[in-house]
Structure 1
Amino acid sequence: MKIGVDYYPEQWDRELWKADADLMARTGVRLVRIGEFAWSRLEPKDGEFDFTWLDEAISNFSRHAMGIVLCTPTSCPPLWMYETYPDIVQVGADGSRLQTGIRAHRCLNAPMFLYYAKRITEQLAKRYANNPAIAAWQIDNELESYPCTCEECRGLFRDWLIDKYDDLNNINAAFGNIVWSGEYSDISQIQPPNAYPKAWQNPALCLEYSRFSADMTAKFANDMAMIIKRENPRAKVTTNTLFSENTPDFYKLFSNLDFVSYDNYPPVRLTDDEGMSSSHAFYLDMMRGVKQKNFWVMEQLSGPTGSWMPMGPTPRPGQIKGYALQAMAHGADTVMHFRWRTANKGAEMYWHGLIDHSNVPGRRFNEFAELCRIAPKLSVIETTELVSDVAILYSHDNAAAFRIQPQTEGFSYFEQLRYFHAAFSKYGVNVDIVPPDSDLSKYKAVVAPSMYVYDKNSAENIYRYVIKGGTVIMTARSGVKDPCNNCIMEPLPTVYREMIGAEVSEYDPIGKEEQTIVDFAGNSYKCRQWCDILELGTARAYAEYRDSFYSGKPAVTMNRYCSGVAYYIGTVCHMDFYEKFAGNIMKQTGIPRLKDLPKGVEVTTRTNGLDDYIFFFNNSEQEADITLPKAMFSILDDTEKDKLKLKPFDMEIVRK
């Protein structure tokens, strides 16, 4: 379990390098990430390379046995390149080139950008790929599925569509282009979605452009990784990712990379939105699920955030250490803090690091140092992983399709996932978030929220899981669209109707209006946003509506199908419903659950097959007392404990 920092030697006077490296070594830093924004220093003029300063920086850290994460600098081409080749700049949906002056405005498909990106990556790989100090490589920085509409991207998009559909007639049919007389008669008429709101445009075109953009981003990352791998096939290559305006398809992006890296900035102010905490555990579990193995955090919260937005509050005592350990509890094997020292120049000067502008280590740095002192004790969990009984299915296509056509006021695809994650997590159960075509056989319960866009492999996978005895939970807005993002002309939930044992006779998009449902035990819950009015086939009602003209109609159903069980939740409720529902599912499927955990306490378990290590994280601003079922050995305190007293944002790890 390694703790590291992000460092920018090119932004600091050389006199600071040695002092910084010495302090890092004394503090316990094991890894240093460098280089992602340094292209102008590596290639100050076209074809003139200067690696002497990078050699010195790497040597400065490696003499302390600190490993280097070396980044390719392709996020920020030098200004001489933009000046010489202005067509490498992305073109927005309005047809205008983006203004340069900040980062990541290059088009990943522009031929001249690719020429230079490959060249600088090759130069770095030839020089450093076999250097023993290099622990890993990062491609670019925070790649997105950029929706560039330049001529190069337009041409590639047309080729991509022809490869998929063969000819214009098939594209016209798939897109439904007869609507608004939009049929293509020549390939040149195919254009990316423009600056109109996406909901005004052809949803099939918009979804295909989202897929195309995701493919191009993944191709770029893979091409750059292959350059490094040619020099050293054993090199470990990743890229760092996050949720953004143009969130990439994580499954495609990392498919050919060695491991997943995530930039983790949990909120400092905790909110309790209708009973669901603002914990970042959901996003950490999602990152672990991308390749279904442990991951790295490449950027971790270190101080107040704020650059292109007003500054947020400073991390509270315990959060620097606690949120790093929370990431490890959910599968991070390495956590690197952004950044070592707060920048005193440039746009990110208020996105704070561990050391403030004063250059005097303070409270946050001291807490980071404590984390570094703890890290060696975590060596016993280096070979462990999380094994889960519950999975939640996430689909990039579904997320994109809902962004294109919002369903009703307040309706959110991610909210569906987060409610179930929070509900099951409340009982101390590990939860995986995985793609819909994953192997589901190892799970006792699978949640498949809003399976909106039909995918044959995913649908067959869910059916196969239930047929063989699995328990699946599906929700409203499932089976709505075909693979082209057109509505299916069958009663909802269409392809899932047989398994669900019920169909939707009508739906009511109620938005923020609230109604009431009552479950089989007589418990009442508020619902909102969406109401599927269900007609039973082989299913039974789990809960019914108590309002509107469909009072008495099923809102939630349960159906035994072959050897398994399928639930369908036709509305969106508050957290109290999902907690009760998750508890019932766990009881019926035999999933062990912890009861009466203090509010805000998160419990996860990592195992090596012989020993289980249980993480208790108090993600709250109040102290928490926990009584263990038996005395357990604390790997942090080297003592046996039968009770835990956790300060705010405190972590305890015990061996079961």
Structure 2
Amino acid sequence: MKMGVDYYPEHWEQTMWEQDAKLMRETGVSLVRVAEFAWSRLEPEEGGYDFSWLDEAIDVFDRQGIKVVIGTPTCTPPNWLVNRFSDVIPVDAVLHPRYPGIRGHRCYNSPSMRLFSERIVEKLAMHYSNHPAVISWQIDNEFSLNECHCESCNQQFRRWLSDKYGSLDAINEAWGTVVWSGEYSSWDQITTPLGGTAYKNPSYLLDYKRFETDSVVEFQQLQGNILRQYCPGHFVTHNIWSYPMSLDYYKLCKRLDFASLDYYPNTSPEKAVSSGYSGALTLDLTRGIKRSPFWIMETISGPPGCWFPMWRTPQPGFIRAYAWQCIARGADTLVHFRWRSAPFGAEQFWHGLIDHSNVPGRRFEEYRMLCDEVNRLSPVLAGSEVLGEAAVLHSHDLYNAFAIQPQAEGMDYFDNLKLYHRALTKSGILTDVVNTTDDLDRYRLIIAPSLYLLDENLADKLKNCVKNGAILILTNRTGVKNLNNVCWIHPLPGQLAEAAGVTVTEYDPVGNDVHTIRMTDGKTHTCSQWCDILEPAGAETIAWYENDFFAGKPAVTVHAWGEGKVYYIGTVAEESFYLDLFGKAADEAGLTRFTGLPEGVQISIRRKGTARYLFVLNLTRKKQTVKLGGAYLSLLREESVGPAIDLDPYAVEIVKLVEDDVFCIK
């Protein structure tokens, strides 16, 4: 495990480099990321490369024993490039060019952008392939979908469609273009979605989103191929941005060595608790991208702010606690953004570990403590991994499909994913978040939120899991469409109706109207967004609607099928419902569960051989107490702790368990 910082030598006088590197080493920093925004310094004019300043900076770090990640600078095309080659600039849906602002001003399909990107990356790769300090490359920075509509994108979109469908007849059939006289009779009639209107064929729009992801993947792979050729011993990664994101990160990261994440938990007092749960989902999603440990390439060092008002400054312990949250959920390296606050540019007030005063203060000392802890525990935790026992399914296609056609007022795919994951986290259920295409055989509890796009392959995979003893939880809007975003002509939940033992006879998109469901034990919960009116076909009803014209009708069912069970939830209920249901389902599945966690306290386990390392984190501004089922060895304090642990605001505890420990927070 390594502790690192983002550092921009081109921003500072050269006399500061040695001082900074020496202080980094003394603080416990062993890694820096450099150069991802430095194209204009690396190539001041076309074909005129100058790496001398970066050579000197990397040599400074090398002398201090600090390793280097170089970011390819393709996120920031220099002015000479965009002025000379207009095709570099992306074009919006009404064909207006989007001129340089901060960064990211490039079309991924631009021939000029691709050519000059390959050239600068090749020069860098050749130059630094044998430097002993350089160990890794970050391709570009925080890819997103530019939604470009230039001529290059139009040509590439037609090529992409031709490769996928083979003919115009196949496209017309797959998209159902007969509606509104939208059938294509020649390839040049197909363009990217021009005009900016939402009233377009949803199948076409979803394919355009997929094309955009593939364009980014192609642009990334041009660079990745060069780096693999010249630097075969180096790691290659990319720093994704926090969820939600319509770019398909599973495709983007497939050929990378590991995923990296830029993670900025919110410091606002009103989000002091919710930010920790949202962050847990983002971290679990990132770990699930490649089903393996990941890096944090940027994280909070002070109050962010620039083109928006500054956030509150991190409270004492905040930086340390959220760093340990990252490690607890699978991060193997932490890089904080940034070493020192920038005196100029758009991110002047996106604060670093050292403020503009250039005097290390409270936050820096907290970071120094964190470095000491991580470096001390690295030999113990290195090689350990996080393995969830429950799985939440996630899909960028589903996110995009719901964004293209919102189903009800207030109904949001990712917000509901947060709701389900938060309930699992609060219930102390160890959870993985994985792609719908992943193997699920090892999970005994699978939550599958709104499988709006459903094909036989996914349905069969889930049914096999249930037949073999898993508990599957389905929710409303399952089985609505095929993967082309075309509605199935059959009762919902479609291919999963038999396993669920229920069909949807009617539905009501209730939106923000609040309804009530009643459980078999008489307990009630509020619900909103959507109400599926269910007809059991072998399933047992466990909740009924209390009001509206469907009062008394089933809202939630459970069906024993094969060796397992399928729950079907026809609405979106308040959190307390999921706390009860997920806890019950986890117990039925025989999962490890840590009951009685205080609000805002999270747990996670990293495993290494027969040893287990339990992380207990208080991600709140108030003191909390948890009770362990015995006494354990604290890795941080090197002393016995328990059966009760008092956790100060943003306190962290890590205890070592052994395989036969029976552990429970009560």
- Pair in the same fold by TM > 0.5: yes
Residue in 2 that maps onto 1:348: 347
Give the direction of change, closer, same or farther, for the CA distance of 1:145–1:458 in structure 2 (3 Å limit): farther
Counterparts of 1:279 and 1:392 in 2: how far apart (Å)? 14
Most deviating of 627-636 and 332-341:
627-636
Residue in 2 that maps onto 1:248: 247
**Do residues 566 (structure 1) and 572 (structure 2) align?**
no
Most deviating of 236-245 and 99-108:
236-245
Residue in 1 that maps onto 2:70: 70
Counterparts of 2:535 and 2:361 in 1: how far apart (Å)? 63
Residue in 2 that maps onto 1:12: 12
Residue in 2 that maps onto 1:300: 299
Contact 1:272 1:278 in 2 (8 A): no
Residue type of the alignment partner of 1:473: I
Contact 2:544 2:553 in 1 (8 A): yes
Residue in 2 that maps onto 1:263: 262
Counterparts of 1:455 and 1:103 in 2: how far apart (Å)? 39
Most deviating of 318-327 and 97-106:
97-106
Residue in 1 that maps onto 2:645: 644
- 1:233 is paired with a residue whose SS is coil
- 1:259 is paired with a residue whose SS is coil
Residue in 2 that maps onto 1:284: 283
Residue in 2 that maps onto 1:221: 220
Residue type of the alignment partner of 1:403: A
- 1:280 is paired with a residue whose SS is helix
Offset of 1:219 from its aligned partner? 1.8
**Do residues 621 (structure 1) and 631 (structure 2) align?**
no
Counterparts of 1:107 and 1:491 in 2: how far apart (Å)? 43
- 2:213 is paired with a residue whose SS is helix
Residue type of the alignment partner of 1:304: P
**Equivalent pairs: percent with the same residue?**
44
Counterparts of 1:310 and 1:275 in 2: how far apart (Å)? 20
Give the direction of change, closer, same or farther, for the CA distance of 1:277–1:300 in structure 2 (3 Å limit): closer
CA deviation digits over 1:323-349, x for unaligned, max 9? 111100000011100011111101111
Offset of 1:150 from its aligned partner? 0.7
Give the direction of change, closer, same or farther, for the CA distance of 1:276–1:571 in structure 2 (3 Å limit): farther
Counterparts of 1:243 and 1:148 in 2: how far apart (Å)? 22
Residue type of the alignment partner of 2:477: R
Residue in 1 that maps onto 2:54: 54
CA deviation digits over 1:203-229, x for unaligned, max 9? 011000000011111122122111011
Contact 2:246 2:399 in 1 (8 A): no
Once the two structures are superposed, the pairs formed by residues 341-380 of structure 1 within 5 Å of their partners are: 341-379=340-378, 380=380
- 1:22 is paired with a residue whose SS is helix
Counterparts of 1:245 and 1:645 in 2: how far apart (Å)? 34
Offset of 1:310 from its aligned partner? 1.4
Give the direction of change, closer, same or farther, for the CA distance of 1:277–1:654 in structure 2 (3 Å limit): closer
**Do residues 180 (structure 1) and 180 (structure 2) align?**
yes
Contact 1:511 1:528 in 2 (8 A): yes
Counterparts of 1:534 and 1:83 in 2: how far apart (Å)? 61
Contact 1:270 1:620 in 2 (8 A): no
Offset of 1:230 from its aligned partner? 0.4
Contact 1:614 1:654 in 2 (8 A): yes
Residue type of the alignment partner of 2:544: E
Contact 2:446 2:471 in 1 (8 A): yes
Residue in 1 that maps onto 2:632: 632
Residue in 2 that maps onto 1:202: 201
Counterparts of 1:274 and 1:456 in 2: how far apart (Å)? 40
**Do residues 84 (structure 1) and 89 (structure 2) align?**
no
Offset of 1:499 from its aligned partner? 1.3
Once the two structures are superposed, the pairs formed by residues 102-251 of structure 1 within 5 Å of their partners are: 102-198=102-198, 200-243=199-242, 247-251=246-250
**Do residues 511 (structure 1) and 511 (structure 2) align?**
yes
Offset of 1:196 from its aligned partner? 2.9
Residue type of the alignment partner of 1:318: G
Residue in 2 that maps onto 1:432: 432
- 1:59 is paired with a residue whose SS is helix
Offset of 1:627 from its aligned partner? 2.1
Residue type of the alignment partner of 2:43: E
Counterparts of 1:617 and 1:154 in 2: how far apart (Å)? 49
Residue in 2 that maps onto 1:324: 323
Offset of 1:615 from its aligned partner? 0.2
CA deviation digits over 1:449-495, x for unaligned, max 9? 00111244322221221122211111011111111111111111112
Contact 1:276 1:419 in 2 (8 A): no
Contact 1:88 1:106 in 2 (8 A): yes
Length-normalised TM-score, structure 2: 0.96
Contact 1:296 1:333 in 2 (8 A): yes
Counterparts of 1:86 and 1:388 in 2: how far apart (Å)? 49
Offset of 1:427 from its aligned partner? 2.7
Give the direction of change, closer, same or farther, for the CA distance of 1:100–1:579 in structure 2 (3 Å limit): same
Counterparts of 2:485 and 2:553 in 1: how far apart (Å)? 29
Counterparts of 1:452 and 1:100 in 2: how far apart (Å)? 38
Counterparts of 1:573 and 1:281 in 2: how far apart (Å)? 21
Offset of 1:35 from its aligned partner? 0.6
Counterparts of 2:50 and 2:547 in 1: how far apart (Å)? 71
Structure 2: unaligned runs, 5 residues or longer: 658-666
Counterparts of 2:382 and 2:273 in 1: how far apart (Å)? 37
Residue type of the alignment partner of 1:324: A
Residue type of the alignment partner of 1:139: I
Residue type of the alignment partner of 2:425: S
Contact 1:222 1:257 in 2 (8 A): no
Offset of 1:541 from its aligned partner? 0.7
Contact 1:237 1:259 in 2 (8 A): yes
Residue in 2 that maps onto 1:481: 481
Counterparts of 2:12 and 2:69 in 1: how far apart (Å)? 18
Counterparts of 1:274 and 1:34 in 2: how far apart (Å)? 33
Give the direction of change, closer, same or farther, for the CA distance of 1:307–1:276 in structure 2 (3 Å limit): closer
Residue type of the alignment partner of 1:3: M
Give the direction of change, closer, same or farther, for the CA distance of 1:655–1:278 in structure 2 (3 Å limit): closer
Give the direction of change, closer, same or farther, for the CA distance of 1:247–1:63 in structure 2 (3 Å limit): farther
Counterparts of 1:303 and 1:275 in 2: how far apart (Å)? 19
Residue in 1 that maps onto 2:660: none
Residue in 1 that maps onto 2:654: 653
Residue type of the alignment partner of 1:31: L
Contact 2:244 2:414 in 1 (8 A): no
Contact 2:272 2:621 in 1 (8 A): no
Give the direction of change, closer, same or farther, for the CA distance of 1:341–1:39 in structure 2 (3 Å limit): same
Give the direction of change, closer, same or farther, for the CA distance of 1:465–1:270 in structure 2 (3 Å limit): farther
**Do residues 544 (structure 1) and 547 (structure 2) align?**
no
- 2:614 is paired with a residue whose SS is strand
- 1:466 is paired with a residue whose SS is helix
- 1:630 is paired with a residue whose SS is coil
Give the direction of change, closer, same or farther, for the CA distance of 1:356–1:52 in structure 2 (3 Å limit): same
Residue in 1 that maps onto 2:447: 447
Give the direction of change, closer, same or farther, for the CA distance of 1:273–1:206 in structure 2 (3 Å limit): farther
Residue type of the alignment partner of 1:652: E
CA deviation digits over 1:184-210, x for unaligned, max 9? 111111011124343x21101100000
RMSD of aligned C-alpha atoms?
A: 1.5
**Do residues 554 (structure 1) and 565 (structure 2) align?**
no
Most deviating of 567-576 and 452-461:
452-461
Residue type of the alignment partner of 1:421: H
Offset of 1:556 from its aligned partner? 0.8
Residue type of the alignment partner of 2:217: A
Offset of 1:102 from its aligned partner? 2.1
Residue type of the alignment partner of 2:7: Y
Most deviating of 499-508 and 639-648:
639-648
CA deviation digits over 1:88-146, x for unaligned, max 9? 11111221110113211111111111111001101111011232211211000001133
Residue type of the alignment partner of 1:280: G
CA deviation digits over 1:485-540, x for unaligned, max 9? 11111111112111111111111111111010011222100000100011110111
Counterparts of 2:274 and 2:251 in 1: how far apart (Å)? 34
Offset of 1:233 from its aligned partner? 2.0
Residue type of the alignment partner of 1:650: A
- 1:557 is paired with a residue whose SS is strand
Offset of 1:275 from its aligned partner? 8.4
Residue in 2 that maps onto 1:589: 589
